[in-house]
Structure 1
Amino acid sequence: EAARLQLRGLDTHVAGVEAYSTLGWFSDPLLSSMLRRNDEQLAALIFHELAHQRLYLPGDTAFNESYASFVEREGLRQWRSSRGLPEPDGQGRARYRQLVELLLQTRERLAGLYASGRPEAELRALKQAEFVRLRQRYRVLRDAHWDGDRRFDRWFAQPLNNATLVPFGLYDRWGGAFAALFERSGGDWGRFHAEVKALAGQPADEREAVLLGVER
């Protein structure tokens, strides 16, 4: 399929995933790839995928993934607390957020280029220049601000194109809004899930307005 899309001049990205949800249609699979995770990582994965099984809104990936990602983070925090473990180290998440911001900035600049009406050959050259710039900015972030933390080097070692940038921002787009909804629900999971379900039933523009409002 990727080859057919490439023949049409489209960027493609083929990658594996460690887990997925069937959204309640079948028993979710337990895959050997999950066993590479430690207990904490496995618990986070289960929280995330069970959230998808509980609620899934067709056609709104950012809503679905932000919701599941919040359930994962808060579920993991409570899981650790129930075992007398300290709060998770926020450094890794903070660095991931910085990386996502860097990638989203690149995506915005590329969108501006594609809307500029420049000749195709010029756009292709400018596109490649943006990816060179992205790699340079990442190295500065890694070496000057992250003490040489190389955890994202493998991702940057692959060929980069439009398709590789697509997932970023979807899993965290409404993270702050769902955190605010959870707080507004008094930390009660039942009330929280009911409020999210009601929100999912609203038209897309009204739903986004609510999310923007609570996020502030």
Structure 2
Amino acid sequence: MRAAPAFALAAGLLLLSGCADLGYYWQSASGHIGIMRAAKPVPEWLADPAVSEPLKAKLELAQRIRRFAVTELALPDNPSYTAYADLRRRAAVWNVVAAPPYSLTLKNWCFPVAGCVGYRGYYDEAAAKAEAEAQSAKGLETAVYPVPAYSTLGWMNWAGGDPLLSTFIGYPEGELARIVFHELAHQVLYVPGDTVFNESYATAVERIGGALWLQREASDAARSEYARFDAQRQQFRALALNTRRALSQVYESAQAKADDWPAVDAMKKAAMDDFRERYARLRAEWLGPRQGAYDLWVARANNATFAAQGAYDDLVPGFEALFEREGRNWPRFYKEVRRIAALPTMEERRHALQTATGILQTNNNSIRKNQDNHGDHGA
């Protein structure tokens, strides 16, 4: 019965899509219906004697995280993440991303509800790889990556909402909290056609919210576990950001403007070689089971992978600054994000975020200056 409303939505999407993408939209609709059919309310899983105690503990933790999202982060209070589905596969969907050989701009695919986004999702990994091969044949650099969760943007809450999934329920406590906060943030607002704005905003919510969860609710062991995990991630993100900047400079260089592609290729290769060498040095410093967590990403790194990561990171500082500017008050923060989201162009939205960041930096500089002056007077 839970799948019937989803099928109605799927039928509507099929009608909107036209014949050209009929097969793609059918796999999208049937894939989501499969997830909904597999989902059962968390209390049913907790009452089932066949369910393992570790899974029950994770489900109970997820419900605590869900309540925290509502009471402390002002995220939506609805049926999402109150059910659980065992998908018996390693990802909810597989996303395909593509970018030109001399650009970090993702190819966009357009959809009836989500608008134009920088990825195309498949519920079958083989189908995703086939799409990537088709884009490669057009001369684009491509990547396929597993996605543990996605949001239906609140459209399916009347049918049971987005469930917790086996693809991420086993995450460490801090990561489990972050993924729930991230996906719920998409239900607060979503700008069709602006992937970087949407993902950076949700990433900012997950980072701020995740830190609050760890500070207020997590055990010392969970905080230590997360600190080790996050330290490696931050180091890797910093390395990737530096490489994106290096590649951007290559693609904007005088050689590129003069169509001197052999020279551009040489500089691009040098930037990628430097990235892999620096990663190898980082990896040698890391200890523990996650030492090789980024090996596959690094081995397959190209314009598409760097651009996709940038979509989740590039505007995060602006949103974090906005949160601070609004007094760390969640309702005020969401109200301001909605105002910026309503601006008609990407450029205006980015300018508004840059303004927020600039104001915060100016205020912080003033505070430091006053503190310094106060210190001088005291001396």
TM-score w.r.t. length of structure 1: 0.82
230, 240, 244: which one aligns with 1:103: 240
RMSD: 2.8
Contact 1:142/1:150 (<8 A) preserved: yes
Other-structure match for 2:316? 175
Task: Please give the alpha-carbon distance, in whole angstroms, between the structure 2 residues aligned to 1:67 and 1:138.
Answer: 27
Does 32-41 or 122-131 show the bigger shift? 122-131
Does 205-214 or 110-119 show the bigger shift? 110-119
Q: 1:212 corresponds to which letter in structure 2? A: Q
Contact 1:100/1:169 (<8 A) preserved: no
Aligned pair count? 215
Task: Please give the alpha-carbon distance, in whole angstroms, between the structure 2 residues aligned to 1:198 and 1:31.
Answer: 33
Task: Name whichever structure is richer in strand by fraction.
Answer: 2
- Please give the residue correspondences for 1:44-193 in structure 2 after superposition, counting only pairs within 5 Å: 44-83=178-217, 85=219, 88=223, 90=227, 92-115=229-252, 116=256, 117-121=258-262, 123-143=264-284, 146=286, 150-156=291-297, 158-193=299-334
Task: Please give the alpha-carbon distance, in whole angstroms, between the structure 1 residues aligned to 2:241 and 2:215.
Answer: 33
| Cα deviation digits, residues 168-199 of structure 1 (max 9, x gap) | 23223233332232233333221221111111
Gap regions ≥5 residues in structure 1: none
Residue 153 of structure 1 and its aligned partner are, at CA, apart by: 4.0
TM-score w.r.t. length of structure 2: 0.50
Task: Please give the alpha-carbon distance, in whole angstroms, between the structure 2 residues aligned to 1:124 and 1:84.
Answer: 48
347, 350, 370: which one aligns with 1:208: 350
Other-structure match for 1:199? 340
The structure with the largest alpha-carbon Rg is 2
CA spacing shift, 1:82–1:185, aligned 2, 3 Å: same
Task: Please give the alpha-carbon distance, in whole angstroms, between the structure 1 residues aligned to 2:140 and 2:305.
Answer: 12
Other-structure match for 1:19? 149
Contact 1:77/1:88 (<8 A) preserved: no
Task: Please give the alpha-carbon distance, in whole angstroms, between the structure 1 residues aligned to 2:270 and 2:281.
Answer: 17
Q: 2:349 corresponds to which letter in structure 1? A: R
Other-structure match for 2:89? none
CA spacing shift, 1:56–1:140, aligned 2, 3 Å: same
Counting aligned pairs with the same residue, the percent is: 40
